[in-house]
Amino acid sequence: MEHVLFCDGDSKKIAWLVKTGDKITKQYRDHAEIYLDNVSPEQSKYIALHVGIFWSIGTFLIKNGDSIKVMLDSKEMFEHLEKNNLVKDEFIEKRTMFINLLIKQRNLDVSYELINSKENQAMPLIQH
């Protein structure tokens, strides 16, 4: 099965949107107390990606061996995840480790695409 995943976040919320064929699943959450007003927007996007993949697996939306195209509106995030560029943020490195573990454990075929922030379909969800 093929999926397209959008994610976004700010200091207060995270959101993700998964397109599977004609079906669109939207989710948003307030940050856990530990992260609320304690993470940067960039860090929040990594949390949203991690939670979005984890939630999608847990609800059986994404299954072992599925393909996911992750749409990213952050050039730094894209270059870190797609091109393995190093980042100097320990928090982001830890989220990346968790994301990569999920990908490996579930044998997911993940690709990343850089988009304009206006194309990020998860962005309106954090503005609730």
Q: What is the CATH number of the domain that holds 27?
A: 3.30.420.10
**Which CA distances in Å does 76 have to 10, 35, 56, 62, 86?**
16, 21, 24, 26, 10
With cut-offs at 50, 70 and 90, classify the pLDDT of residue 93.
Answer: very high
Q: State the pLDDT at residue 26.
A: 98
Structural domain harbouring 30: 2-127
**Which CA distances in Å does 33 have to 8, 55, 116?**
18, 19, 30
Residue at 12: amino acid letter: K
Q: State the pLDDT at residue 116.
A: 97
What is the spatial distance between Cα 65 and Cα 84, in angstroms, rounded to a whole number?
A: 22
Backbone angles phi, psi at 7, to 5 degrees: -145, 155
Instruction: Summarize the confidence of residues 63-78 as an average pLDDT.
Output: 98
* CB-side neighbour CA atoms (13 Å) of 83: 10
| Percentage of the chain modeled with pLDDT above 90 | 95
Instruction: Summarize the confidence of residues 9-33 as an average pLDDT.
Output: 97
Express each pLDDT in 22-64 by its tens digit. 999 999 999 999 999 999 999 999 999 999 999 999 999 999 9
> What is the number of structural domains in the chain?
1
Residue 65's SS3 state is coil
pTM, 2 dp: 0.96
